[in-house]
């Protein structure tokens, strides 16, 4: 692994806070991430935030094709030059939060595997985008803030449990594969990171009559998580039936419980019972 300090100096690069740039400099961690992604020779990989291409080069040796999306135009030019000897790598300049996945991946015949060292500020909105477009992807192997990873795997009852926990666990099998110290990055972030691996379930953990309404109910409840369930719902601006409290009791849920105590199954039953 080439010294990143040396490369940054050579190219006159300074990691940019606005894009949350923290370059991975530990080759051992890099290899563990590639191993966790379980890349095969027929796989197409979408890499987000390839930086100076160390991960990109490693992935290209395993995969059929690597699509590397980078927002920093200066890095894009460097990457395109560095990847000339890797014909199966395509470098694209773009903001992953704004790119349309369907257009980006329209040529790919199989679901794509995602590998990314995510800037902390985009990790949660990007996760929701992946869930919305899950048919295009098979697995996600992501390095993100440890706190976000812990929210993703959190069970009911704790302060980490919320909409992200529910929506991730509802549609995927998720594991935290390893924790990463700040010293593995340049510059080191102020918090620890974690590498998670997600694979979609064949069907969602629980059935619900209307997925969008289910999501609205979950978000509505957690918008006021300190309130009781019934009070949170009343403050949520959702169109609820007049006898909402009676309907909640009828399915065996105490309206005075806190939202974070409900299981995913209970949220699905709640959504179905309150559907307009």
pTM comes to: 0.90
Q: What is the pLDDT of residue 5?
A: 65
Distance of alpha carbon 71 from alpha carbon 125, whole angstroms: 16
- Could you tell me if 42 and 100 lie in one domain? yes
Last residue of a domain, one of 135, 167, 200: 200
Looking only at Cα atoms, what is the longest distance across the chain?
68
Contacts of 35 (CB under 8 A, 6+ apart): none
At 13, is the pLDDT very low, low, confident or very high (cuts 50, 70, 90)? low
Contacts of 59 (CB under 8 A, 6+ apart): 34, 37, 39, 45, 47, 66, 115
- Could you tell me if 104 and 40 lie in one domain? yes
Do the domain assignments include residue 77? yes
Q: What is the pLDDT of residues 66-96, one digit of tens each?
A: 999 999 999 999 999 999 999 999 999 999 9
Tokens at 188, concatenated: 């080191």
Distance of alpha carbon 137 from alpha carbon 154, whole angstroms: 23
Residue 242 burial (C-beta neighbours within 10 Å; 0-12, 13-18, 19+): exposed
Q: What is the pLDDT of residue 118?
A: 87
Do the domain assignments include residue 139? yes
Do the domain assignments include residue 94? yes
Distance of alpha carbon 5 from alpha carbon 42, whole angstroms: 34
Q: Name the domain count of the chain.
A: 2
Do the domain assignments include residue 205? no
- Kindly write down the DSSP assignment for every residue of 175-190, as one continuous string: EEEEEE-GGGEESPPS
Whether 10 shows a pLDDT value over 80: the answer reads no
Helices (H), 87-122: 101-104
- Could you tell me if 112 and 245 lie in one domain? no
- Could you tell me if 88 and 39 lie in one domain? yes
Do the domain assignments include residue 105? yes
* CATH number of the domain that residue 147 is part of: 3.40.50.150
Whether 21 shows a pLDDT value over 90: the answer reads no
Last residue of a domain, one of 200, 234, 251: 200
- Could you tell me if 163 and 237 lie in one domain? no
State which residues form the domain around 232: 211-274
Average pLDDT in the 99-118 region?
93
Q: What is the pLDDT of residues 161-209, one digit of tens each?
A: 999 999 999 999 999 999 999 999 988 999 999 999 999 999 999 999 9
């Amino acid at each position: 692994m080439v010294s990143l300090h040396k490369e940054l100096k050579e190219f006159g690069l300074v990691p940019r806070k606005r894009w949350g740039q923290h370059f991975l400099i530990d080759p051992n961690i890099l290899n563990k991430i590639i191993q966790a992604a379980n890349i095969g020779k027929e796989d197409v990989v979408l890499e987000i935030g390839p930086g100076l291409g160390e991960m990109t080069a490693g992935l290209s040796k395993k995969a059929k094709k690597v699509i590397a999306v980078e927002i920093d135009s200066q890095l894009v030019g460097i990457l395109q030059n560095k990847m000339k000897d890797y014909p199966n790598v395509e470098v694209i300049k773009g903001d992953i939060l704004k790119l349309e996945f369907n257009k980006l991946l329209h040529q790919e015949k199989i679901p794509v595997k995602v590998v990314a060292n995510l800037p902390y500020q985009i990790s949660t909105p990007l996760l929701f985008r992946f869930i919305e477009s899950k048919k295009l992807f098979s697995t996600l192997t992501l390095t993100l803030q440890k706190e976000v990873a812990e929210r993703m795997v959190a069970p009911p009852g704790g302060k980490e449990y919320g909409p992200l926990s529910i929506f991730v666990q509802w549609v995927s099998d998720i594991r935290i594969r390893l924790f990463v110290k700040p010293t593995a990055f340049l510059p080191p972030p102020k918090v620890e990171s974690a590498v998670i691996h997600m694979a979609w379930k064949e069907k969602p953990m629980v059935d619900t009559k209307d997925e969008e309404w289910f999501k609205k109910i979950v978000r509505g409840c957690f918008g006021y998580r300190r309130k009781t369930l019934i009070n949170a719902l009343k403050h949520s601006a959702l169109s609820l039936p007049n006898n909402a409290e009676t309907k909640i009791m009828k399915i065996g849920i105490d309206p005075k419980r806190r939202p974070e105590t409900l299981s995913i199954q209970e949220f699905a039953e709640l959504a179905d019972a309150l559907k307009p």
